[in-house]
């Protein structure tokens, strides 16, 4: 083999490994994140009054009211706290 052919082969090999790395990165990091974002968006769209939820800060409560971008959670009998909808982590299943 000539020097030019060996050089081209090394570049091709490096390009293949770069492609494999990008594929692994996409499969293990990007796809799961997109799936989680889709699940969270669905959760926020399906929230309704009376649902028991947990905030990203770990505060448990029941949805008292839903506004455009916020949710009012009833934490205890006399305590209501307003959160951004994005701050709701998950719904508690009974």
- pLDDT (tens, 9 = 90+) of the chain, 94 residues, equals 555 666 778 888 899 999 999 999 999 999 999 999 999 999 999 999 999 999 999 999 999 999 999 999 999 999 999 999 999 999 998 7
53 bridge partner residues: 61, 91
Sign of the dihedral through C-alpha 37, 38, 42, 43: negative
Helix (H, G, I), strand (E, B) or coil at 25: helix
Structure tokens at 54: 């947990």
| CATH architecture under which domain 47-94 falls | Roll (2.30)
CB 87 within 8 A of CB 73: no
Q: 72: closest CA among 58, 53, 91?
A: 53
- Given the DSSP bridges, would you call strands 88-91 and 79-84 parallel, antiparallel or unpaired? unpaired
């Amino acid at each position: 083999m000539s020097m030019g052919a060996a050089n081209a082969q090394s570049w091709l090999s490096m390009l293949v490994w770069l492609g494999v790395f990008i594929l692994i990165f996409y499969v293990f990091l990007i796809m799961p994140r997109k799936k989680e974002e889709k699940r969270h968006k669905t959760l926020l769209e399906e929230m309704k009054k009376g649902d028991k939820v947990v905030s990203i800060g770990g505060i448990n409560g029941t949805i008292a009211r839903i506004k455009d971008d916020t949710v009012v959670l009833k934490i205890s009998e006399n305590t209501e706290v307003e959160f951004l909808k994005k701050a709701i982590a998950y719904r508690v299943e009974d």
